[in-house]
Amino acid sequence: NEQTFIAVKPDGVQRGLVGDIISRFEKRGYKLAAIKLVTPSKEHLEKHYEDLSDKPFFKGLVTYMLSGPICAMVWEGRDACKTGRMILGATNPLASNPGTIRGDYAIDVGRNVCHGSDGVESAKKEIALWFGKDEVISYKQSQFDWIYEKP
Ligand code: GTP
Ligand code: MG
């Protein structure tokens, strides 16, 4: 089953949005596979965003991500990466539709509340970076048969 790495960034944690963000993924039908509150090192965050290291906003991005605790999660279910990004909204909150997390709660691209893996391959890399194998839990979601049609 497809998994995605979702994080509530420091602004989202400080603004009390963790519960709402979890709730949106729960209510959609996704299964929570891992969750923890963390304060990662600068090196960890530079690795997480390594593809953006040549961008002019990279230093500010890392400083932002270091500014407080982050709620790191793994959510599992059909098409979790692509749909997860739809639940978050566009990178720039001003381009995000209302009804998305960023479209409901953010204005500035540099304070956009949440992160989501941009594909299956990056999800695998990110989950391995943020979680130990024993922290990602495999279990049967009791609502499963009410969310998915039987094959
Ligand atoms: P993430 O889910 O956080 O990875 O965002 P994304 O995949 O929608 O966008 P991307 O990976 O391209 O950028 C990562 C993060 O860098 C964004 O979420 C923003 O917080 C920040 N960022 C991206 N573009 C800009 C920019 O033009 N200016 C500033 N200040 N920050 C940016
Ligand atoms: Mg990204």
Q: What is the pLDDT of residues 16-54, one digit of tens each?
A: 999 999 999 999 999 999 999 999 999 999 999 999 999
Parallel, antiparallel, or unpaired for β 114-116 and 31-38?
unpaired
Q: What is the pLDDT of residues 57-105, one digit of tens each?
A: 999 999 999 999 999 999 999 999 999 999 999 999 999 999 999 999 9
Q: What is the mean pLDDT of residues 123-147?
A: 97
Q: Please say if the pLDDT value at position 151 is more than 90.
A: no
* pTM for the predicted model, two decimal places: 0.97
Cα of 149 vs centre of ligand 1, distance in Å, is: 36
Q: Please say if the pLDDT value at position 124 is more than 90.
A: yes
- In b/e form, how buried is each residue of 41-74, taking b as 16+ CB within 10 angstroms? eeeebbebeeeeeeeeeeeebbebbeeebbbbbb
Catalytic residue (choose from 115, 116, 123, 131): 115
115 C-beta closer than 6 A to ligand 1:
yes
Structure tokens at 133: 């194998």
